[in-house]
Amino acid sequence: MRKTTQCYICRKNGKKTEYLMLYRNKKPQDPNEGKWLGIGGKAEPGETPAEANIREVYEETGIRLDPEDCLCHGIVKFLNTVYEDEEIYLYSAAVPFDTQIIDCNEGELHWVGEDKMPGLSMWEGDRRFLIPLLNGETGINMTLYYDKDKLVGESR
C-alpha cells in the first residue's frame, strides 16, 4: 500500500476562509482527472509522511510550509478494485492571505471558499473526512472501499 499525503491549505481574511484546491486536469491517464483534491502526493522511499507533505506542497504550489505549522488530522485508507491502494495522511496548514502560488503541472490551483468546498467534484469518500478536517478534528481514521470510481463501503 503506497503512502500519500493530502494537505488542505487555508488562508483567512477577516471572516472569509479559503482553501487551496487542485483541480486535476493535466496528467494523462490520471484516475483523479476532473476531481478536486487537497495538495499532496506519494511519499518517496525513506521519507516520512510529514516530510512528504512539506515536499509535495512546495513542488505543487511553491509554498514553503514550516513542519510545526502542519496539523496531521489522521489517516484514510483508500482501497480500490482497479487503482493502487493508498494510505493517505491528512494535513492542514494556514498561510497568510497574500501567499503567492505557482503554476502546477498536475492541474489548476484555485482558492475556494470554505462554503463551496462540499459542492466540488471530488471522490465521494473525500466528503466523509472533509467536514471533520475543516472543523479541525484530529484522529480521523477510516477505510474507504471503492469499485473503480464508486464508493461501495466505509469503516471507521
Q: What is the pTM of this model?
A: 0.95
pLDDT at site 41: 95
**What pLDDT is recorded for position 39?**
98
**Strands 16-24 and 107-113: what pairing?**
antiparallel
Radius of gyration of the chain (CA): 15
Largest CA distance in the chain: 44
The pLDDT of residue 26 is 87
Q: What is the pLDDT of residues 58-114, one digit of tens each?
A: 999 999 999 999 999 999 999 999 999 999 999 999 999 999 999 999 999 999 999
CATH class of 2-155: alpha beta
pLDDT at 29 over 90: no
Average pLDDT, the chain: 95
Per-residue pLDDT at 55: 98
**The predicted structure's pLDDT at residue 109:** 98
Q: 27 falls in which pLDDT band (50, 70, 90)? A: confident
- Is the pLDDT assigned to residue 118 strictly greater than 90? no
Comparison of pLDDT for 27 and 85, the residue scoring more: 85
Q: Check residue 119 and give its pLDDT.
A: 92
Percent of the residues in the chain that have a pLDDT greater than 90, as a whole number: 94
